[in-house]
């Protein structure tokens, strides 16, 4: 948190987390900034790196010879800030951890930068930051450095959070999107569409018999188990914005292959299906925040599914298709009615500010 040392000498009253608000001074880099960092961020993220109070955090990554590292970053602008199954705080931890994990890496550390709108309730900020702290502790990945800026009322929207993660890729692991080959199996770790539908339902004020919760979760534990079973796993990718359809199109493009999906095999919860019909959405294009796509050699498919199903985050893992030879990179789907159709990239803006 850019080096703000403890608020000293008792000049200031403690922050009012009941009905206080963020003001421009909290972003000015002086005593008010230091107080916000000390009483909120350092308290919630509690770790020795932050307590050092320097502009960056130093660490020893214990890299074995030949091991590579990965760096990933995400800006989070989700609206509303609090939604069924999570909030912008936990999401900003999970989203970036998952990008690191999709690189096949064990995440080491996170950084976080906050852009807060003047007048934002300190109570809400505290709830968000504490949720981030919990998500980071649960994942075993500390937030070691950060930054806070404040913009005038009307120049932001509550709070935006950018997180960056770094991690270590074990020797021999390469899960980049260019590695899919014809004949490979396409697996998904569970049912799709929950995150986007949870956000949209909240935004539209819809209620369902069973509340739809975001699937927001950190997947690096699941990934580590999968790599132990199949270190040669070809591709990992989390189907966030743009959904399963767009993510598979990206991989098809990177690898120069086609894909054939089996519509009947793609898991969608009945209440998500119902909400999608109501909202005019296609679950194939809806963001997920706790699911992954794995592409692997045919012989790895069953061992991987067996392994994934032992983890609660992969218990509904299934195979949804096969990689084909196709220089045009088309993703096709065998429909429930027996026909075939092309599953294209998302065009337009199906769901704004979903993450």
Considering the complex, what minimum distance in angstroms separates the CB of residue 97 from a copy of itself?
Answer: 11
**Closer CB to a copy of itself, 85 or 95, in the complex:** 95
Considering the complex, what minimum distance in angstroms separates the CB of residue 92 from a copy of itself?
Answer: 11
Considering the complex, what minimum distance in angstroms separates the CB of residue 327 from a copy of itself?
Answer: 11
**Closer CB to a copy of itself, 97 or 261, in the complex:** 97
Considering the complex, what minimum distance in angstroms separates the CB of residue 151 from a copy of itself?
Answer: 5
**Closer CB to a copy of itself, 24 or 209, in the complex:** 24
What are the angstrom distances between the C-alpha of 346 and each of 157, 177, 284, 317, 350?
26, 18, 9, 24, 8
Alpha-carbon dihedral of residues 129, 56, 110, 101, nearest 10 degrees? 170
What are the angstrom distances between the C-alpha of 206 and each of 278, 279, 317?
10, 10, 28
**Closer CB to a copy of itself, 53 or 84, in the complex:** 53
The terminus-to-terminus CA distance of the chain in angstroms comes to: 23
Q: Residue 270: phi, psi to the nearest 5? A: -55, -40
**Closer CB to a copy of itself, 28 or 206, in the complex:** 28
* Chain CA centroid to CA 330, Å: 26
What are the angstrom distances between the C-alpha of 138 and each of 50, 217, 266?
18, 10, 29
Considering the complex, what minimum distance in angstroms separates the CB of residue 84 from a copy of itself?
Answer: 21
**Closer CB to a copy of itself, 159 or 308, in the complex:** 159
Classified as helix, coil or strand, 348 is coil
**Closer CB to a copy of itself, 43 or 75, in the complex:** 75
Considering the complex, what minimum distance in angstroms separates the CB of residue 350 from a copy of itself?
Answer: 6
3-state secondary structure 236-285: EECCCCCHHHHHHHHHHHHHCCEEEEEHHHCCCCHHHHHHHHHHCCCHHH
* Chain CA centroid to CA 56, Å: 24
Considering the complex, what minimum distance in angstroms separates the CB of residue 86 from a copy of itself?
Answer: 17
């Amino acid at each position: 948190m850019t080096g703000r040392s403890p608020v000293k000498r008792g000049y200031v009253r403690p922050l009012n987390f009941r009905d206080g608000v963020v003001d421009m001074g909290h972003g000015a880099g002086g005593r008010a900034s230091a107080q916000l960092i000390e009483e909120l961020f350092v308290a919630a993220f509690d770790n020795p790196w932050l307590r050092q109070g320097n502009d960056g955090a130093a660490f020893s990554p214990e890299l074995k010879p030949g091991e590579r590292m990965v760096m990933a970053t995400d800006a989070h602008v989700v609206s509303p800030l609090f939604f069924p199954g999570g909030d912008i705080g936990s999401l900003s931890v999970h989203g970036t951890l998952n990008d690191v994990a999709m690189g096949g890496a064990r995440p080491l550390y996170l950084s976080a930068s906050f852009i807060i709108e003047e007048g934002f309730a300190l109570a809400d900020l505290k709830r968000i930051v504490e949720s981030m702290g919990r998500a980071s502790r649960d994942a075993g990945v500390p937030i070691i450095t950060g930054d806070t800026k404040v913009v005038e009322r009307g120049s932001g929207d509550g709070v935006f959070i950018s997180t960056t993660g770094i991690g270590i890729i074990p020797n021999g692991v390469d899960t980049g999107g260019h590695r899919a080959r014809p004949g490979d199996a396409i697996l998904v770790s569970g049912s799709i569409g929950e995150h986007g539908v949870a956000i949209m339902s909240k935004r539209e004020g819809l209620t369902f018999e069973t509340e739809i919760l975001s699937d927001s979760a950190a997947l690096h534990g699941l990934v580590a188990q999968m790599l132990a079973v199949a270190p040669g796993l070809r591709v990992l990718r989390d189907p966030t914005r743009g959904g399963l359809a767009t993510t598979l199109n990206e991989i098809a493009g990177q690898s120069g292959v086609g894909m054939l999906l089996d519509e009947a095999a793609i898991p969608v919860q009945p209440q998500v299906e119902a909400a999608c019909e109501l909202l005019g959405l296609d679950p194939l294009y809806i963001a997920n925040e706790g699911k992954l796509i794995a592409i692997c050699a045919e012989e790895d498919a069953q061992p991987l599914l067996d392994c994934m199903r032992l983890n609660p985050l992969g218990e509904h893992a299934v195979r949804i298709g096969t990689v084909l030879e196709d220089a045009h990179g088309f993703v096709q789907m065998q429909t429930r009615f027996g026909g075939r159709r092309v599953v294209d990239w998302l065009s337009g803006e199906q769901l704004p500010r979903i993450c």
